[in-house]
Structure 1
Amino acid sequence: MKPRVTPSDLAVFLSIARHLSFSRAAVELGLTPSALSHALRGIEERLDLRLFNRTTRSVALTEAGERLFARVDPAFRDIDDALEDLNDFRGKPVGTLRITSGRASTQIVLLPVVAAFLQAYPEVKVEIVDNDAFVDMVSSGFDAGVRFGERIEADMIAIPLGPYQRSIVVATPAFIKQHGKPKHPKDLLGLPCIRHRFPSGVVYRWEFERGGVKLETDVTGPLTLTDVGLMLDAALHGAGFAYAFEQMAAPYVEAGYLQAVLDDWCPHYPGLYLYYPSRRQMPAALKAFVEFVQALRK
């Protein structure tokens, strides 16, 4: 008689299914990728079914794996909710809070809030996963995320996580002297600009507004990057005009390394939001963090 598949086996399966990555699942479970692969192989042998199709580059659920995930994942979440209920009997929340956030969002707003939160709740651990791409929060095992309001799915609960933000156009004084100072967003057309490509593959169109007039400019240039911080570094090296968060660019502008242009076309806009799925039982660590964020804004 073959050994039965245990709940710990199912936890291994769920972690791989949520991440679709042996390396990330191994980190979550505290195992090596090779040990995790061996464990999965044992589970599949006991079930006499292949649960994942895997190559050196990708991991994907088979039809049998998808069916098992659909049945088991909600059950394990119910167990997690039941365990979270026990936090009502503790003086302070404990556990790990997993947050997905873009790198710039983390630097600008999230890290200072998390640092203060950890001082108030020393028994809580926070893991921030730097990811500018959209992820399925529930299936990926995240408790919350940080994004701009217009990019948050409608079925999420969202609360403001910081002040209004502003993006500005900057370049080095020498670059502006060489190429000229634009007076209108359309003047950027034909000038060397540092473009930003999202993980989805879409290239960002720079957004401007003045006197109720909104413009989107599809700038061109020899350099395209996927990280806002690197775009700022590139501008400092004289690679072109960059469209960056004012908070990140301000120290360089104040020091004279960069100069802002089109200032009257760069208004403030609603800032970043903390968002999370609506669940029957909110994890205690997440509940404490949400209340902490709300208290900061009062």
Structure 2
Amino acid sequence: MDRYASPLNVTTNLTLNATVKHFSVFDGCEQYVEAILFDLTLQIINVIVGIPANVLVIAVLIHNRKEPSTSDIFLGCLAFMDAYFGTMTPLNFLNLYIWHSKAVWSAIKFSFGVKDTSGPLFLSCICLDRFVAVLFPIAFGQLKHIEYRLSLTLLVLCLTFAYSAAKMVGGFPNFEKVFTCEILAAFAWMVVCNASILSALKKTRTAGKDDMHPMKKKAFNLVLSILCIIIFNYLPLVALFPFEDHYSADVFRCYVQPAGFAFMNISSTIQPLVYLSRLEKVPFLPEAWVKKFCSCISAERSKPASERNTPA
């Protein structure tokens, strides 16, 4: 299970080896073009929407640096990695159709490795931070120093770059199983962790009343949004990739693989939009834009309390 064995990558390698075969994005997958088109479409969305959204997330985190959240460093790194992945998409298209450069292709493979690793690991760090804060508040108070999160961030970056470099070089036997194990372990941890947090936070409510502490309610909404992201973006990979042997080689390479990675790739757009939609006010943007593009929940929160409590 290696995303670089997809039809786009195989065809590119043929071109780089100077074969006389005519280039085609759908080479060998003419019967399964839907999944490839789906993946390419979502990558284009990452460029148009995802890059500006991630840059805005980074700007908001810098703007709020005087009152930071303990998870801000993880959110910032995640936004930076997603923005970087989005910027590589135009280079990928240009290299597929015009340049046919081996050096550019190596850089693109490195960016795929960054996306494969940084997203699940940084989301796991955010879940760990919230898990300790809610279930072990005393320990969390002792571990609030930025040094702990910097150390964890450095560890994630080292793992990400090591994995990406290995993917770029290639040739390691059964190396694709590393991603399978990583995504399964990260998915299981994030789901169990977030489910435990939601269960603990719901117990703070009085029966029949919504009197959760504002900070805990904020944490509840954050964890719930992360859980939705995890299920939508990573469940297809977890559900399909471990059963690679049950598909024919062409079906897995041309249909299952592009479709599975497409759901993970679009997280580069979904994650920053979910974060921005949770903000009561987005700096640097006119208030009219915020009201137009934020979710219905954000719009409801922006109304005066008297209007929200008015019966229909």
Compare CA radii of gyration and give the structure with the larger one.
Answer: 1
Structure with greater helix percent: 2
Establish whether TM, by shorter chain, passes 0.5: no
TM-score (norm 2): 0.23
- Structure with the higher strand share, 1 or 2: 1
TM-score w.r.t. the length of structure 1 is 0.23
Q: Which has the higher contact order (CA 8 A, sep 6+)?
A: 2
